[in-house]
Amino acid sequence: MFLLGKDKYFYLKSMNVLKVDNLTKTYRSGNRELTVLDQVNFEVAIGDTLSIVGPSGSGKTTLLGLCAGLDVASSGSVMLDGSALEKMTEDQRAAVRNQLVGFIFQNFQLLQTLTALENVMVPLELKKRKDAKDKAMELLEKVGLADRLTHYPNQLSGGEQQRVSIARAFANEPKILFADEPTGNLDTETGEMVENLIFQLNEEEGTTLILVTHDLELAARTHQSIHIKGGKLQEAING
Amino acid sequence: MVDWNWSLLMAKRDLRKTGGRLILFISAIVTGIAALVAVTSFGDNLSNDIDEQAKELLGADLSLRKNQPIEFPEIETQADRRALEVNFASMVYFPKVGESRLTQVRALEGDFPFYGSFETLPVSGETEFRKGAKRALVEKTLMAQFGAVVGDSIKVGNVTLEIVGALQKVPGQNGITATVAPAVYIPNDQLEASGLVQYGSRVNYIHYFQFPEEFDLEALIAEKKDQWDEDKVRHETVQSQKEDTGRSFENLSNFLVLVAFIAVLLGCVGVGSAINVFVKEKLPSVAVLRCLGVRSKEIVAVYLVQIVIMGLFGSLLGAAAGAFLQFLLPMVFSDFLPVEVSVQISWRAVIMGTFTGVLISVLFALIPLLKIRKVSPMMTLRPDDPSAGLGKDPLRWMVLGAIVLFILGFSFYLLEEWDQTFWFTGFVIFAFGSLWLLALGIMKAIRKFLPISLNYPARQALSNLYRPNNQTVSLLATIGLGTAMIGTLFFIQNQLLDEVRFADKEDQPNMLFFDIQSDQVDSMKTVLAEDGLPILQHVPIVTMGLAEVNGLTRNDNEELEDEEQRSNSMYRREFRVTYRDTLIATEELTAGSLIPFEAEGDSIFVSMEEGYAERNRVELGDEVVFNVQGRPLTTYVGSFRKVNFRKVSTNFLVVFPDKVLDNAPKFHVLITRTKNDQESADIQNKMVRQFPNVSVVNLSMIVETLEDILGKISFVIQFMALFSILTGVLVLISSLLISKFQRIRENILLRTIGAGRRVLLKINALEYLFLGSLAAGGGILLSVLAAFLLSRYVFEISFRMEWGPLLIVFVLITLLTVILGWINSLSILKAKTMDILRS
Ligand SMILES: Nc1ncnc2c1ncn2[C@@H]1O[C@H](COP(=O)(O)OP(=O)(O)O)[C@@H](O)[C@H]1O
Ligand SMILES: [Mg+2]
């Protein structure tokens, strides 16, 4: 946490890489208040895998966004690798995302104007790694796209795009990886291949994985599962 | 701290894919920059050329001018060469067609011009003329007007001369002066015989000198200056001519630069709204970068770098176009130019234009670009969530402030006066702001009141106007402002012409005879009566000088503190005054009263023109001593009058009471009214033949001259307004291309739900019809307001609504928009259903 400066350094010696405390998120539209997340509590240990399941609209994406520091909660706290996200400025959270976090999205979210290789290089370049290109090529090879380096996203199939995005997610060697329905936009076969790839890389790199899905079969592959419904956490199901 | 290395790297990668699109977004500034560079370059060339051709402009090293005969024997001995020009306004008569016109007759003695030459057709005309005797050179426009050719004769006063050449170009004259006072050169030794120089004639005696190379002219001027001032002699040198001409043309070229600058600003509005579309397209990428941990200022930097590069590209393109365009300008402005203008690329203009283009387009692009600072990374997870999208950034006020500062700075650089600078900036902000508000209002109204009862194509077309990437607001603003400029121009031009023509409608005077000698008055009145023409006014005129104001002579005045001094021109001026105890129709008393002069020994009360008195700080009751042919005459200011100088009438700065000037030498003006042009021509010819020294001004000649001059001026302004219209067209084209994909998708959607080709074409045509007519309508609204303010406060004429020219402008602009849109929609309709599926 050197990035935050000495005064903000309050690393808690703990096994938990993510700790969520009484997390609540309300949206205000007009004069109506909508509580999307209500007093959510859970924690995830380093290297663990967790799935968040629940019906559509239950608040899974909201929860993931808060845990990853993409958004700020209305109340409650998120401790990511020992630091409280809600106490940071937006730029500090950006630094956390760059240093600690990887993302895989439902709709891939590759940068359309960059080639596959360049997309994977971006997180490495942001970290000012001299070996960005080599490392990115290595990762693309791992996901089986060694022959697609100079292709642009719109020249790749959905499965290929998601594999590029997986390579990008692992590029900065994140401590924790967030995936929001990573197979939601893929057919079953491709989806399975992408799943396997995520779990395989996760194991190899020893990353913590937080996975949002409404696919119970996929959820069963994670070590822990939490279930939310209407913004409230149901009892934990251990898989 | 922004990580520029990374931002540059990302910008470079991005540009590979989006460069083409960005250049489209930036293209709107190209015409503006082209105009700016062309006009600035032209101005630079013009001022160089004036400097270089200053000798030809004056035609001599020194000119000395007085309104009475004068000799300079001492200077003559020092000069290599000397020449004399005696000039005055007079009728000349073309016997072949039997018509006459008021011209400026110049009786020449000596080899003037010493620098440059008369350009005549045939070329031999000048040498022929120099042989002397009864030969004349005549302005080409004058010859064209009367169908005269070389070899014809012309009658000037009592002498008949042979035309030996048509004057193409006279030193120091341009197209405008040639229109107002076309020149006729005659040898000076014919002047006497012409009998034209009589009492009251406004005659100028100009002596020209050329000195040896090593002669110290400045020393001569320093020595003689006071004496010349005393003698009411004006002097001009190459240097002073250079400065005077340079100054007035600097004003012209600064004005043109400001007009071009407006086109640049218009283009920037287009750029701003196109970048808005660009930013919307980039939102997903921005959100991803935010997720990956890039700070918002670095993301702004990535796109800013691209915009700067493309802005530079667009500006350079514009500058290159401008460099070519300036080849056209000497032709466009030829009627205004006193010198041959060379065409050279002015690097100063190119650099200034490019710099302006980059800076201002970047500033305008920043307003939408800043919005991405507020993009939430949550957008990656929930792309359709509106709250994660664009927000307004408080920094945009800073950018807007910077834009205003830039406009202020730019206009101050050209205008050099703060009040004008504020007026200009205020005008720009007002014009842009009001069009912007108008456009927003129209959009809101459509959204709110779109009538259900409207048929389908019209409804669809109207709702297309607020299609997200349509740039409707900026199109309304750019096309609207271009329309407003052209509309205002037509409006004012017509108002001015009508004001003059108006005189013909009522029982107003329309013909004026002047330079009449006392012994000619009775016989002229008889001639008029014979022809059944009324004598509306008979005005005696006495010329006099001013000796003292409140006891201060000219010398006393000069010794006062600067701020207490009256203008010297008051003492130098020759006053032409009349005497009567009543007001005439074009006058109005604003203070005091007309006090008649009853008997010898009474005080004499004169009436002064209000504005002139104000300018010279003369107040009621002030004592003014005039010098009437050497005799001092003490008077008191008894009243002020407001005079309408635009009517065909004689107007006077000073009016004496009756009886005082009965015995002073004088000349006369007669004013009448003819029923039609034929009658005017007949009486004019009759008078000129019988009384050659009498000059005639008639209304139709004034109208013609004014039409001609306004035509020339408006040609130039239209040329400049063209750039605004062109910018609007560019914005239109780029917005059509930007929204093309969306349009194709919509059209295919409509086609799949069964809309036929004809319905689609109808929808498209209607959309552009609405767009074009709203823009043109808004612009015209603005032009009515501008014309109202201008006629009211600048030209001080009454304002009348005039639909004709406005309708023409409206139809043309709307048509242009519809045609461009139509061409675009044809290519959209060609797109196959499959294309959209594939992309
Ligand atoms: N910006 C917002 N404003 C108001 N309500 C929102 C906003 N974003 C999400 N919601 C609501 O929050 C609820 C949870 O959304 P989300 O977390 O995306 O659900 P899930 O990912 O489980 O499908 C939904 O009902 C959604 O409509
Ligand atoms: Mg979701």
Tell me: the pLDDT tens digits for B199-214?
A: 667 888 999 999 998 8
pLDDT computed for residue B195 by the predictor:
83
Nearest CA of chain B to the CA of A128: how many Å?
Answer: 9
Where on the phi/psi map is residue B621: left (φ > 0), alpha (ψ -120 to 50), or beta? left
pLDDT computed for residue B175 by the predictor:
73
> Which pTM was predicted?
0.79
Question: What is the pLDDT averaged over residues A201-217?
Answer: 90
**Interface contact flag, A113 B285, Cβ < 8 Å:** yes
* Confidence label for A3 from pLDDT (cuts 50, 70 and 90): very low
Establish whether residue A61 lines the binding site of ligand 1, counting it when its CB lies within 6 angstroms of any ligand atom.
Answer: yes
A118 touches chain B (CB under 8 A): yes
Which ligand has the nearest atom to the CA of A60?
1
Cβ atoms of B514 and B669 within 8 Å: the answer is yes
CA-angle at B60, arms to B57 and B61, nearest 5°:
110
A96 touches chain B (CB under 8 A): yes
Mutual angle of helices B28-52 and B699-738, in 10-degree steps: 140
Nearest CA of chain B to the CA of A229: how many Å?
Answer: 19
A89 touches chain B (CB under 8 A): no
Establish whether residue B569 lines the binding site of ligand 1, counting it when its CB lies within 6 angstroms of any ligand atom.
Answer: no
Calculate how far, in angstroms, residue A59's C-alpha sits from the geometric centre of ligand 2: 7
> In ligand 1, which atom is closest to the CA atom of A64?
17
Calculate how far, in angstroms, residue B286's C-alpha sits from the geometric centre of ligand 1: 21
> In ligand 1, which atom is closest to the CA atom of A59?
17
Question: What is the pLDDT averaged over residues B412-424?
Answer: 86
- Which distant-in-sequence residues (6+ apart) come within 8 Å of B584 by Cβ? B537, B649
Cβ atoms of B490 and B787 within 8 Å: the answer is no
Nearest CA to ligand 1 atom 11: A36
**Interface contact flag, B381 A65, Cβ < 8 Å:** yes
pLDDT computed for residue A8 by the predictor:
41
Quick check: bond before B113 cis, omega within 30?
yes
Establish whether residue A76 lines the binding site of ligand 1, counting it when its CB lies within 6 angstroms of any ligand atom.
Answer: no
β pairing state of B511-517 and B667-672: antiparallel
Cβ atoms of A31 and A221 within 8 Å: the answer is no
Instruction: Report how far residue B160's alpha carbon sits from residue B197's, in angstroms, rounded to the nearest whole number.
Output: 16
pLDDT computed for residue A105 by the predictor:
93
Q: What domains sit in chain A, N to C, each tagged with a CATH number?
A: 6-238 (3.40.50.300)
* Confidence label for B834 from pLDDT (cuts 50, 70 and 90): low
pLDDT computed for residue B835 by the predictor:
55
**Is pLDDT of B32 > 60?**
yes
The sign of the torsion formed by the CA atoms of A4, A7, A13, A16 equals negative
Nearest CA of chain A to the CA of B827: how many Å?
Answer: 25
- Among A109, A125, A126, the residue with its CB nearest the CB of B288 is A109
Calculate how far, in angstroms, residue A196's C-alpha sits from the geometric centre of ligand 2: 21
**Interface contact flag, B6 A125, Cβ < 8 Å:** yes
* Ligand 1 pocket test target in A26, A36, A74 with most atoms within 8 Å of CB: A36
Nearest CA of chain B to the CA of A9: how many Å?
Answer: 19
Chosen for mutation from A122, A125, A152 (greatest number of chain B CBs closer than 10 Å) is A122
Instruction: Report how far residue A179's alpha carbon sits from residue A169's, in angstroms, rounded to the nearest whole number.
Output: 9
Establish whether residue A57 lines the binding site of ligand 1, counting it when its CB lies within 6 angstroms of any ligand atom.
Answer: yes
pLDDT computed for residue B571 by the predictor:
85
Q: What is the pLDDT of residues B622-632, one digit of tens each?
A: 999 999 888 89
- Which distant-in-sequence residues (6+ apart) come within 8 Å of B437 by Cβ? none
pLDDT computed for residue A11 by the predictor:
44
pLDDT computed for residue B623 by the predictor:
93
Q: What is the pLDDT of residues B234-293, one digit of tens each?
A: 899 988 888 888 887 888 788 888 888 888 888 888 888 888 888 888 888 999 999 999
**Is pLDDT of B790 > 90?**
no
Q: What is the pLDDT of residues B529-565, one digit of tens each?
A: 998 888 888 889 998 988 888 888 888 888 888 777 7
| Cα separation values, A102 from A175, A191, A220, B618, Å | 8, 19, 22, 86
Cβ atoms of A192 and A227 within 8 Å: the answer is no
Instruction: Report how far residue B839's alpha carbon sits from residue B831's, in angstroms, rounded to the nearest whole number.
Output: 12
Closest C-alpha among B69, B60, B42, B40 to residue B215: B60
Reported ipTM: 0.90
Where on the phi/psi map is residue B333: left (φ > 0), alpha (ψ -120 to 50), or beta? alpha
Cβ atoms of A76 and A22 within 8 Å: the answer is yes
Cβ atoms of B832 and B806 within 8 Å: the answer is no
From the number of C-beta atoms within 10 Å of its C-beta (0-12, 13-18, 19+), residue B104 rates as: buried
B324 touches chain A (CB under 8 A): no
pLDDT computed for residue A235 by the predictor:
67
Q: Using a CB-CB distance cutoff of 8 angstroms, which residues of chain A are in contact with residue B382?
A: 61, 65
B233 touches chain A (CB under 8 A): no
Chosen for mutation from A4, A110, A113, A185 (greatest number of chain B CBs closer than 10 Å) is A113
Nearest CA of chain A to the CA of B364: how many Å?
Answer: 24
Question: What is the pLDDT averaged over residues A165-175?
Answer: 93
Backbone angles phi, psi at B810, to 5 degrees: -55, -50
Cβ atoms of B8 and B247 within 8 Å: the answer is no
Cβ atoms of B697 and B512 within 8 Å: the answer is yes
Instruction: Report how far residue B431's alpha carbon sits from residue B481's, in angstroms, rounded to the nearest whole number.
Output: 7
- Which distant-in-sequence residues (6+ apart) come within 8 Å of B131 by Cβ? none
Nearest CA in chain B to A129: B6
The runs of H, that is alpha helices, within B667-756 are: 677-690, 699-738, 740-752
Which ligand has the nearest atom to the CA of A184?
2
Q: What is the pLDDT of residues A85-119, one digit of tens each?
A: 999 998 899 999 999 999 999 999 999 999 999 99
pLDDT computed for residue B419 by the predictor:
86
**Is pLDDT of A12 > 50?**
no
Q: Which residue has the higher pLDDT, A208 or B601?
A: A208
Question: What count of residues does chain B have?
Answer: 839
Task: Give residue B239's Cα distance to chain centre.
Answer: 26
* Confidence label for B342 from pLDDT (cuts 50, 70 and 90): confident
Q: What is the pLDDT of residues B807-819, one digit of tens each?
A: 888 999 899 889 9
Residue B513 bridge partners (DSSP): B670, B696
B14 touches chain A (CB under 8 A): yes
A23 touches chain B (CB under 8 A): no
* Confidence label for A50 from pLDDT (cuts 50, 70 and 90): very high
A98 touches chain B (CB under 8 A): yes
Q: Could you give the percent of chain B with pLDDT greater than 90?
A: 20
| Cα separation values, B26 from B350, B509, B729, B732, Å | 18, 58, 13, 13
* Confidence label for B478 from pLDDT (cuts 50, 70 and 90): confident
A70 touches chain B (CB under 8 A): yes
Cβ atoms of B237 and B42 within 8 Å: the answer is no
Cβ atoms of B191 and B85 within 8 Å: the answer is no
* Confidence label for B584 from pLDDT (cuts 50, 70 and 90): confident
Establish whether residue A231 lines the binding site of ligand 1, counting it when its CB lies within 6 angstroms of any ligand atom.
Answer: no
- Range in B51-55, B164-168, B798-802 with the lowest mean pLDDT: B798-802
Mean pLDDT, chain B, integer: 85
B310 touches chain A (CB under 8 A): no
Structure tokens at B134: 């009864």
pLDDT computed for residue B727 by the predictor:
84
**Is pLDDT of B606 > 80?**
yes
β pairing state of B153-156 and B81-94: antiparallel
**Interface contact flag, A113 B296, Cβ < 8 Å:** no
Query: Which residue in the block uniquely carries the two structure tokens 């359309």?
Result: A112
- Which distant-in-sequence residues (6+ apart) come within 8 Å of B663 by Cβ? none
Residue A81 bridge partners (DSSP): none
Question: What is the pLDDT averaged over residues B420-442?
Answer: 85
Structure tokens at B256: 């043109």
Nearest CA in chain B to A174: B292
pLDDT computed for residue A4 by the predictor:
42
